[in-house]
Amino acid sequence: MTEPLDVAGLQRRLAEFAAARDWQPYHTPKNLAAALSVEASELVEIFQWLTPQESERVMDDPASAARVRDEVADVLAYLLQLCEVLGIDVLAALDAKIDRNGRRFPAP
Amino acid sequence: MTEPLDVAGLQRRLAEFAAARDWQPYHTPKNLAAALSVEASELVEIFQWLTPQESERVMDDPASAARVRDEVADVLAYLLQLCEVLGIDVLAALDAKIDRNGRRFPAP
Amino acid sequence: MTEPLDVAGLQRRLAEFAAARDWQPYHTPKNLAAALSVEASELVEIFQWLTPQESERVMDDPASAARVRDEVADVLAYLLQLCEVLGIDVLAALDAKIDRNGRRFPAP
Amino acid sequence: MTEPLDVAGLQRRLAEFAAARDWQPYHTPKNLAAALSVEASELVEIFQWLTPQESERVMDDPASAARVRDEVADVLAYLLQLCEVLGIDVLAALDAKIDRNGRRFPAP
């Protein structure tokens, strides 16, 4: 039976994956935050020499589309693992943040 | 009526938020990837001088817990907006990546 | 008497500065690399929503010019401190790298 | 005749290198800042799963020492190129920053 494709299910798969490989000692919040930022930079690297217009078409090329998909997956993987070890509900955190931003940047 | 608290609902709220403020011209994939990496680094900044052990206790202090929650929300916000403009299903991308990682790093 | 304004002199001032404040225990290579990347991202943040053309004019505004100068100084500060603790001659490392790049990307 | 091994000389070599390959159109301040942050993250990647103690010994292994040297060179290369296109004297910027930091963090 497969896990449902949602944040909680993916978080569980990632936790089991790390546990099966004894990776938990490496997964301190500090290390996971660093790994997250490294993956975010690998995403930036794809775009670094592109014009804004070229960056809009990055998914047109199958090889670069696969690379982008791979890197966004890595970013989400570390974000979910970080939130898991810190006990943060990331969806609730974003929901609350959008509310705060609504007050900070009122729509015209 | 509130949006359901899931990735699709948050992605919709973020898209409406940006549209209401005419931010779309700024939201090129290149700029969103840069913004994502900047937020990931703000998360790293919280941990940069902490020992691994101190990093485990970062949620014990209400002020630093709020800061961490704020930054993970920002990372997810830019990740979802990037995936939105690129037409990427980020949950499916991570699901596929975990499968690939399972083949790349077989459990002992 | 002032130190000469060169890399070795700045490196010495930075080392004395950290020693006088007992910051050495924090200055592990791992932490300094993280701090360097955080400062590099603060530089990216200045440019993140600018067009390529606007980014060319960032020094025209005194406030943003000061901010850029401040961030490049921070990047260099952590780079020199990292090289100091690792015993790396950063100028020699770049010199060797330009030679390697000359072989890797032959001029047309 | 070789260039002297100092910041000005390296900056000149980098400028000639880029000019000979017609890379200047890519070298907007925005792109160079992004490239700098990507290289800084490649440095972080070397350290991301290491303990603080292991990170102190990273130069003991010739392969990882070469990798570190390579990445610090890349960081300096993009930092110098960014300062070149922006007309910033990076050594003077750091000198001024250390002075400011001395007032901000008085030694005990």
Q: What is the pLDDT of residues C27-56, one digit of tens each?
A: 999 999 999 999 999 999 999 999 999 999
Quote the pLDDT of residue D4: 61
Domain count, chain A: 1
List of chain C residues whose C-beta atoms are within 8 Å of the C-beta of residue D73? 90, 93-94, 96-97
**A53 lies in a domain?**
yes
Q: What is the C-alpha separation between C35 and C75, in angstroms, rounded? A: 8
Q: What is the C-alpha separation between B82 and B28, in angstroms, rounded? A: 8
Size of interface A-C (CB pairs under 8 A): 7
Q: What is the C-alpha separation between A63 and A98, in angstroms, rounded? A: 34
Size of interface A-D (CB pairs under 8 A): 35
Q: Which of D26, D41, D47 sits opposite A41 (nearest CB)?
A: D41
List of chain D residues whose C-beta atoms are within 8 Å of the C-beta of residue A34? 44, 47-48
**A2 lies in a domain?**
no
Quote the pLDDT of residue B42: 98
Decide if A45 and D26 are in contact by the 8 Å CB cutoff.
no
A35 at D interface, C-beta within 8 A: yes
The residue behind tokens 């490392």 is C93
Percent of chain D exceeding pLDDT 90 equals: 94
Q: Which of A34, A41, A51 sits opposite C34 (nearest CB)?
A: A34
| B98: CATH | 1.10.287.1080
**B73 lies in a domain?**
yes
Quote the pLDDT of residue D2: 57
Q: What is the pLDDT of residues A66-105, one digit of tens each?
A: 999 999 999 999 999 999 999 999 999 999 999 999 999 9
pLDDT at B3 over 90: no
Q: Which of C37, C51, C52 sits opposite A37 (nearest CB)?
A: C37
| Local structure of residue C20 (DSSP, 8 states) | H
- Nearest residue in chain B measured CA to CA from A31: B52
The residue behind tokens 């609504």 is A102
Percent of chain D exceeding pLDDT 70 equals: 96
Question: What value does the mean pLDDT of chain B take?
Answer: 95
Quote the pLDDT of residue A107: 87
Q: What is the pLDDT of residues B9-57, one digit of tens each?
A: 999 999 999 999 999 999 999 999 999 999 999 999 999 999 999 999 9
Quote the pLDDT of residue D108: 84
B37 at D interface, C-beta within 8 A: yes
Quote the pLDDT of residue C75: 98
Q: With bands split at pLDDT 50, 70 and 90, how would you rate the model's confidence at D59?
A: very high
pLDDT at A2 over 60: no
Decide if B98 and A37 are in contact by the 8 Å CB cutoff.
no
Q: What is the pLDDT of residues D2-25, one digit of tens each?
A: 556 899 999 999 999 999 999 999
Decide if A51 and C52 are in contact by the 8 Å CB cutoff.
yes
Kindly list the distances between the CA atom of residue C3 and the CA atoms of A20, C7, C86, D77, D92, in Å, as whole numbers in the listed order. Answer: 55, 10, 22, 24, 12
Q: What is the pTM of this model?
A: 0.96
B87 at D interface, C-beta within 8 A: no
Question: What value does the mean pLDDT of chain D take?
Answer: 95
Decide if C37 and B44 are in contact by the 8 Å CB cutoff.
yes
Is residue D105 within 8 Å of C19, Cβ to Cβ? no
Quote the pLDDT of residue A14: 97
Token pair recorded at residue B27: 């939201």
**C1 lies in a domain?**
no
Residue whose C-alpha is closest to residue B91's, from C22, A3, C94: A3
Token pair recorded at residue C37: 């990347």
Token pair recorded at residue B69: 């929650």
Chains that touch C (3 or more CB pairs under 8 A): A, B, D
CB crowding D60-96: b at 16 or more within 10 Å, else e: eeeeeeebbbbbbbbbbbbbbbbbbbbebebbebbbe
The residue behind tokens 């004395």 is C16
In angstroms, the separation between the Cα of residue D99 and the nearest Cα of chain A is 30
A66 at B interface, C-beta within 8 A: no
- Nearest residue in chain D measured CA to CA from A25: D49
Those residues with Cβ within 8 angstroms of residue A13's Cβ, 6 or more apart along the chain or in another chain: A3, B98
**A33 lies in a domain?**
yes
In angstroms, the separation between the Cα of residue B1 and the nearest Cα of chain C is 33
Q: What is the pLDDT of residues B56-79, one digit of tens each?
A: 999 999 999 999 999 999 999 999
Average pLDDT, integer, range D43-54: 98
Quote the pLDDT of residue A108: 84
**B1 lies in a domain?**
no
In angstroms, the separation between the Cα of residue A19 and the nearest Cα of chain C is 25
In angstroms, the separation between the Cα of residue A48 and the nearest Cα of chain C is 11
| Local structure of residue C96 (DSSP, 8 states) | H
Q: Which of B34, B41, B51 sits opposite D34 (nearest CB)?
A: B34
Q: Give the domain extent around C95.
A: 7-104
**D13 lies in a domain?**
yes
Quote the pLDDT of residue B108: 84
Q: How many CB atoms lie within 10 A of CB C16?
A: 13
User: For an interface test with A, which of B10, B22, B43, B105 has the most A Cβ atoms less than 10 Å from its Cβ?
Assistant: B43
Residues counted in chain C: 108
Quote the pLDDT of residue B2: 57
Q: What is the C-alpha separation between B17 and A102, in angstroms, rounded? A: 8
Q: What is the pLDDT of residues B74-107, one digit of tens each?
A: 999 999 999 999 999 999 999 999 999 999 999 8
Size of interface C-D (CB pairs under 8 A): 180
List of chain D residues whose C-beta atoms are within 8 Å of the C-beta of residue B41? 37
**C96 lies in a domain?**
yes
